[in-house]
Amino acid sequence: MSEPMISLKEITRVYDVGAEKVYALAGVDVDIHNNEYLSIMGPSGSGKSTLMNIIGCLDSPSGGLYNFEGESVHTMDDNQLASIRNQKIGFVFQTFNLLPKLTALRNVELPLIYANIPKDERMVQANLALEKVGLGDRVKHKPNELSGGQRQRVAIARALVTNPAIILADEPTGNLDSKSGEEIMKLFDELHAQGNTIILVTHEAYIAEHADRTITILDGKINTDITKHIKRDVS
Partner 1 sequence: MLGLFKENLLIALGAVFANKTRALLTTLGIVIGILSVTMMGTLISGLDRSFEKSMSFLGRDVLFISKHAWFSNDNWWDIRNRPDIKLEYMDKIKQQSKFVTAISPTMQRHIDVSRGEESISGMALVGTTPEYVQTSTTNISEGRFITEGEDRSGSRVVVIGNDIAESLFKNISPIDEYVKIGPYKFRVIGVVEKQGKFMGLFSLDNQAIIPSGTYFRLFSRRGWIQLNAKVDEAHISEAKEEITGIMRRLRGLRPEEKDDFAINQQAAFEDQYNAIKLAIGGTGLFITVLSLVVGGIGIMNIMFVSVKERTREIGVRKAIGATRNMILGQFLIEAIFICLLGGLAGLSLAWIGSLLINKFVFPSAMPIWLAVISMGLSLLVGVISGIAPSFKAARLDPIEALRYE
105 secondary structure, DSSP code: H
Contact flag: residue 116 with partner 1 (CB under 8 A): yes
Q: Which helix (H) or strand (E) holds 74?
A: none
Residue type, 101: K
Alpha-carbon distance of 62 to 193, in angstroms, equals 35
Chain-centre distance for alpha carbon 80: 18
CB 111 to partner 1: min, Å: 4
Least Cβ distance, residue 113 to partner 1 (angstroms): 5
- Shortest distance, position 229 Cβ to partner 1, whole Å: 34
Pick the stretch among 11-19, 81-89, 127-135, 195-203 that binds partner 1 (CB under 8 A): 81-89
Question: Applying CB under 8 A, which part among 86-94, 136-144, 174-182, 185-193 lies near partner 1?
Answer: 86-94
Q: Is 82 one of the binding residues for partner 1 (CB under 8 A)?
A: yes
Interface with partner 1 in residues 53-72 (CB under 8 A): 53, 56, 58-59
Q: Is 91 in the site for partner 1 (CB under 8 A)?
A: yes
Instruction: Report the site for partner 1 in 145-164 (rule: CB under 8 A).
Output: 158, 162
> What whole-number distance in Å separates Cα of residue 169 and Cα of residue 82?
18
The reply to whether 23 sits near partner 1 by the rule CB under 8 A is: no
Segment near partner 1 (CB under 8 A), from 21-29, 67-75, 92-100, 132-140? 92-100
Which of 99, 124, 205, 226 binds partner 1 (CB under 8 A)? It is 99
DSSP string, 113-156: HHTT--HHHHHHHHHHHHHHTT-TT-TT--GGGS-HHHHHHHHH
Kindly give the interhelix angle for 119-132 and 104-114, rounded to the nearest 10 degrees. 130
Q: Which residues contact 189 (CB under 8 A, 6 or more apart)?
A: 210
- Candidates 7, 39, 46, 86: give the one binding partner 1 (CB under 8 A): 86
Identify the residue among 16, 20, 78, 137 touching partner 1 (CB under 8 A): 78
- Paired with 222 in beta bridges are 217
Cβ(122)–Cβ(69) under 8 Å? no
Residue pair 129/176 in contact (Cβ under 8 Å)? The answer is no
Interacting residues toward partner 1 by CB under 8 A:
53, 56, 58-59, 78-79, 82-83, 85-87, 91, 93, 97-99, 101, 110-111, 113-119, 122, 158, 162
